[in-house]
Structure 1
Amino acid sequence: MAKSKFLGGASRRSLLQQFGAAAIGISFSGSLSACGQGGGGRTVNFYNWDTYIGPTTLADFQAATDVPVNMSLFATNDELFARLRAGNPGFDVIVPSNEFVTRMSQAQMIQELDRAQIPNFTNLLPEFQDAAFDPGRRYSMPYTWLVLGIGYNKAACAAKGVPVPNSWRYLFDSPTFTQRMALLSESADLIRLCAKYQGISLNAIPEANLASIEQMLIRQKPHIKAFHEDDGQDLLAAGEIDIVLEYNGDMAQLMSAEGGEAFDFVVPQEGTLINSDCLCIPTGAPHVEDAHAFINYLLDAEAGKKITEEIQYPTPNAAVRDLMPDSYKNNPVIFPSADLMAKSEYGAFEGDEKARQFEEIFTRISAA
């Protein structure tokens, strides 16, 4: 998912200012050559969401294994998929969300994992050791799980008479926050949440509802300031918007930063979309053995704790969870109530044709 750059403590931006991107193995372009990754030797080329790793994780892995990690960044699953559709340019580990695990496995874009090389699999919570989108966990290991909701400026919303914007209506079907809102640009997620607002399942959306969702968002577009990819919470923090469609972990990061008490997060009453970001090895990975070692390391209890402390996303790792403080375990932003979770669903991959249809709908909305 699109991850926040607005962090408390030592953010990516401050690290870059101090050391420069090359010094910590980061490319913002998704270009392997930008990180000097074209040479031989042991390494892991990691394609990840922004600020979705612990501050010392890459260096710690290198210290433990003598294998460097070069990390490039993407902003959406659509970008990740497009980057690898024509063939793997040299990545060893990628982080697609659940339905893209299905889509990429069916397209033979990711390879089966060797469970024998990932003994830390046993650290996972039982409910994450299998998955409907990847039966038997043949192609993926869970990295995080997450939900979408509405991040908001508390004072600005109260001033408009909406102290808690607890319905998708405020984003999709209302002028209340004209030019003070931002929506996510990931086509499938956006359309599925509109289906939730319409009171139907976010999977197998009928054609009539897809047409009405498209028209609803076209009507709403004059009220939308931006369709964001990787900076929705930053727009909120900068005061450019008052409400935003965002991931719970991004908002937990923002709310824990200096000045974060001005913001809050709500899962709308209609329910939401649940996602799980996963660790996969793309077909044609040049360093398969080191890729397995890196995935196993990310599932380690202490390594996972450092990651979770930084990114503030729900962990599927029981060993990590046991090390986290109650302030994390009991945070309703990170772990929404059972009632809200019962109204929420994972999105299922429904075929390339449906994925293209979602993309085409969003393109028409963007052009309207």
Structure 2
Amino acid sequence: MSTLPPMSTGALASRRVSRRRFVGGSLAIAVAMPAVGRPAFAAGSLNVYNWDTYIGQDTVANFSDETGTNVRYDLYAGNDELFAKLREGNPGYDVIFPSNDYLERMVVADMVQKLDHSKIPNMSNLAPRFLEAKFDPGREHSLSYFWGTQGVGYRTTAVDGVESWSLLFDSEELSGRKSLLTDVAVLQTAMKYLGFSANSTDPAEIQQAIDLLIRAKPTIQSFAPDTGQDLLISGEVDLAMEYSGDIMQVMEEDDELSYAVPQEGAILWEDVMAIPTGAPNVENAHAFINYILTPEVHAEIAEEVQYACPNQAAVELLPEDQRNNPVIYPSEEVLDRCEFKIYMGEETEGLYAQGMTRVLAS
């Protein structure tokens, strides 16, 4: 990833770019902004490290104006980049936004510190289900930012609906018109299709999923690094495994597109706000997390990024068509079929990573 100057709020202008994309938005910002030197991390300010295109256009500027806090806002492209950046020691960040399984991994590695809930009274705005989490008991280290599903975006003129993952993993139908993601969640979704847990630690079950994907590979047009929504809207594919919010964005541009969570279920994810170990501005970090959880602030961000908001008070402020949209907020019946990816230990995580490498190389 390119070295970026401190991010200006003007660079946060609304655009259709996945918040999980590994290239694109960050590089575009680097080109658009002046080639100025980067100040060192400053005490008495706030240093935020977040995914690209994953905050409201004015959120950072408004926080700065209201609190008088100078904010440095840096971008990363994925959880691996975040983890690698902080693994050798925090260079000075105060607030980070890892996904749930990486939060677990960072807790085990002592890379995040416990939150002081007394300094985050707005956490009471979270829906009850988000005040507890298996990946962070008691919410000691994190509070929820956004959540969603991985499912299938599809073109309704090519297929009536997507009832099963078999259309992507085990069918010649629409051969060459399908795309999958490149990360290990594809392998874990294949596990669910086979009737196993997405978090199985059984090498034999993992191997069955690897074999399934290798057999399916000739029918797949592309393993896309979170650009399946672009392949879908451009007409290059008719089925794309993608994140719900990304497909929601292109559905707004093309009324022939839709999204489904197949009957076997899918991967649930939750991105969280946490304070890394060694943060120089802990008080400001708590203040920023509390600010995000203000209903009006969180609602404004949710309306822009179109991912599911865990803030119950914020959801009530959203436009009716957004808060009642089943693509963004799936029914309990759908959620019961889904599974959070959990951290399974380095050995098992390695098996999944090696398995996905084999699939991509086959």
| Shorter-chain TM band | 0.7 to 0.9
Question: Is the 8 Å Cα contact of residues 58 and 68 (structure 1) preserved in structure 2?
Answer: no
**Distance between the aligned counterparts of 1:38 and 1:230, measured in 2?**
32
Q: Which residue of 2 aligns with 1:172?
A: 169
Q: Deviations over 1:241-278 (max 9, x none)?
A: 2221111122222222xx33121100101111111110
Q: Tell me, what secondary structure is at the counterpart of 1:90?
A: coil
Taking a change above 3 Å as real, the CA distance of residues 42 and 270 of structure 1, as seen in their structure-2 partners, is same
Q: Which residue of 2 aligns with 1:55?
A: 57
Question: Is the 8 Å Cα contact of residues 94 and 282 (structure 1) preserved in structure 2?
Answer: yes
Aligned residues: 339
Q: Deviations over 1:291-347 (max 9, x none)?
A: 221111111111001001111111111110121232122111112232222211222
Quote the offset at 1:280 in angstroms: 0.9
Q: Which residue of 1 aligns with 2:207?
A: 211
Q: Does residue 307 in structure 1 map to residue 287 in structure 2?
A: no
Taking the TM superposition and a 5 Å limit, the aligned residue runs for 1:40-79 are 40-79=42-81
Taking a change above 3 Å as real, the CA distance of residues 208 and 130 of structure 1, as seen in their structure-2 partners, is same
Gaps of 5+ in 1: 1-8, 14-20
**Distance between the aligned counterparts of 1:240 and 1:34, measured in 2?**
39
Q: Deviations over 1:59-82 (max 9, x none)?
A: 111111122333333333233223
Q: Which residue of 2 aligns with 1:133?
A: 135
Q: Which residue of 1 aligns with 2:232?
A: 236
Question: Is the 8 Å Cα contact of residues 37 and 70 (structure 1) preserved in structure 2?
Answer: no
Which of the residues 244, 251, 254 maps onto 1:248? 244
Question: Is the 8 Å Cα contact of residues 27 and 35 (structure 1) preserved in structure 2?
Answer: no
Q: Tell me, what secondary structure is at the counterpart of 1:182?
A: strand
Taking the TM superposition and a 5 Å limit, the aligned residue runs for 1:259-270 are 259-270=253-264
**Distance between the aligned counterparts of 2:324 and 2:318, measured in 1?**
10
**Distance between the aligned counterparts of 2:318 and 2:190, measured in 1?**
34
Q: Tell me, what secondary structure is at the counterpart of 2:283?
A: helix
Q: Which residue of 2 aligns with 1:350?
A: 344
Question: Is the 8 Å Cα contact of residues 76 and 229 (structure 1) preserved in structure 2?
Answer: no
**Distance between the aligned counterparts of 1:89 and 1:12, measured in 2?**
31
**Distance between the aligned counterparts of 2:222 and 2:39, measured in 1?**
34
Q: Does residue 184 in structure 1 map to residue 181 in structure 2?
A: yes
Question: Is the 8 Å Cα contact of residues 62 and 68 (structure 1) preserved in structure 2?
Answer: yes
**Distance between the aligned counterparts of 1:71 and 1:27, measured in 2?**
13
**Distance between the aligned counterparts of 1:100 and 1:39, measured in 2?**
24
Greater share of residues in helix: 1
TM-score normalised according to structure 1 size:
0.85
RMSD over aligned Cα, in angstroms? 2.4
Taking the TM superposition and a 5 Å limit, the aligned residue runs for 1:257-336 are 259-336=253-330
**Distance between the aligned counterparts of 2:133 and 2:166, measured in 1?**
31
Q: Which residue of 2 aligns with 1:17?
A: none
Q: Tell me, what secondary structure is at the counterpart of 2:316?
A: helix
Question: Is the 8 Å Cα contact of residues 77 and 186 (structure 1) preserved in structure 2?
Answer: no
Q: Tell me, what secondary structure is at the counterpart of 1:286?
A: coil
TM-score normalised according to structure 2 size:
0.86
**Distance between the aligned counterparts of 1:292 and 1:178, measured in 2?**
50
Question: Is the 8 Å Cα contact of residues 64 and 71 (structure 2) preserved in structure 1?
Answer: yes
The one-letter code of the counterpart of 2:59 is: T
